[in-house]
């Protein structure tokens, strides 16, 4: 009996405790985009991804959704996935436990209210984690996703050109990589236009990871009108 309980606990806890920063499947690259939706730049990112047959995972902070709520549905309708980036975009380790859990759950609910999608992955703002953040990730039923390659448009490449960022990104080992960039930044469409042909020339799959993995919990409701009470019930489940 003790073994059964222990195994169940490990099975439940390990996926959340181990931060995912690389894919399991060789030959794939996962493109992730944080901090949208941006009314101007997110559609440009979506157009470039479409033109190369690429798919992305968009980590959305709840407080950004009112800027362009329709874009969340467009992201999913165009074959991409959504992840939780918290609600307030504050560094999660600075929050007390109750506020930390509330920030993650409010972020998930904001995405659900627009799309009917219940997020499965959490990317903590700034990649900032600690023990309580890992515990809250598990507590809210998420898995933690970090990254292994970074375009750094909000970091040390703040002044860089798209060509410099593309060159930097292509210097990473990109097989199984999880790439971080930001769809609210004007330079990213141009970076993608330069990087995506190189990834395809290297026979790396820039769509399969989004198509193959269960990025969302449960089914998405697109054709059914979801009542507010139903949303509350499903979110609190
Ligand atoms: Zn962010």
69 within a domain of the structure (yes/no): yes
What distance in angstroms lies between residue 230's CA and the mean position of ligand 1's atoms? 29
Q: How many CB atoms are closer than 10 A to CB 192?
A: 29
Tell me if 27 is assigned to some domain: yes
Per residue in 34-53, pLDDT (tens digit) is 999 999 999 999 999 999 99
What is the spatial distance between Cα 130 and Cα 124, in angstroms, rounded to a whole number?
10
| CATH number for the domain that contains residue 22 | 3.20.20.370
Beta-carbon count within 10 A of 10 CB: 11
- Three-class DSSP category at 82: strand
pLDDT(212) > 90: no
Tally of domains in the chain: 1
As a residue count, the chain comes to 237
Q: Which residues surround ligand 1, an ion (CB under 5 A)?
A: 34-35, 125
Cα of 126 to ligand 1 centre, how many Å?
A: 6
* Burial class for 152, CB neighbours closer than 10 Å (0-12, 13-18, 19+): middle
Residue 154 in domain: yes
Task: Give the model's confidence band at 237: pLDDT under 50 very low, under 70 low, under 90 confident, else very high.
Answer: very low
Tell me how far the alpha carbon of residue 123 lies from the centroid of ligand 1, in angstroms.
8
Residue 225's pLDDT band, with cuts at 50, 70 and 90, is very low
pLDDT band at 220 (very low <50, low <70, confident <90, very high): low
pLDDT at 116 over 60: yes
| Residue 225 domain-assigned (yes or no) | yes
3-class state of residue 95 by DSSP: coil
In a domain, 22, yes or no: yes
- Predicted local confidence at residue 222, as pLDDT: 35
Centre of ligand 1 to C-alpha 86, Å, is 9
Q: Which domain holds residue 130?
A: 10-236
Catalytically active residues, by annotation: 34, 182
Q: Determine the pLDDT at residue 223.
A: 32
pLDDT tens digits, residue range 153-187? 887 777 789 999 999 999 999 999 999 999 999 99
The three-state secondary structure class of 48 is: helix
The alpha carbon of 221 and the centre of ligand 1 are apart by a number of angstroms equal to 26
Task: Evaluate whether residue 4 is within a structural domain.
Answer: no
């Amino acid at each position: 009996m003790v073994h059964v309980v222990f195994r169940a606990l490990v099975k439940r806890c390990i996926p959340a405790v181990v931060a995912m920063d690389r894919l399991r499947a060789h030959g794939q690259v996962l493109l992730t985009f944080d901090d949208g939706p941006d009314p101007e730049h997110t559609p440009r990112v979506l157009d470039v991804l479409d033109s190369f047959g690429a798919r992305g995972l968009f980590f959305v902070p709840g407080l950004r959704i009112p800027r362009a709520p329709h874009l969340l549905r467009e992201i999913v309708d165009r074959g991409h996935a959504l992840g939780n980036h918290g609600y307030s975009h504050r560094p999660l380790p600075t929050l007390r436990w109750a506020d930390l859990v509330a920030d993650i759950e409010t972020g998930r609910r904001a995405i659900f209210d627009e799309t009917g999608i219940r997020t499965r992955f959490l990317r903590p703002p700034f990649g900032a984690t600690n023990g309580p953040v890992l515990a809250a990730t598990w507590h809210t039923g998420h898995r933690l996703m970090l990254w292994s390659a970074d375009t750094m448009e909000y970091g040390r490449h703040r002044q860089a050109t798209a060509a410099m960022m593309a060159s930097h990104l292509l210097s990473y080992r990109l097989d199984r990589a999880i790439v971080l960039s930001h769809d609210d930044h004007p330079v990213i469409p141009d970076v993608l236009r330069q990087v995506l042909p190189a990834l395809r020339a290297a026979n790396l799959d820039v769509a399969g990871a989004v198509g193959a993995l269960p990025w969302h919990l449960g089914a998405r409701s697109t054709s059914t009108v979801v009542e507010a009470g139903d949303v509350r019930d499903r979110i609190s489940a």
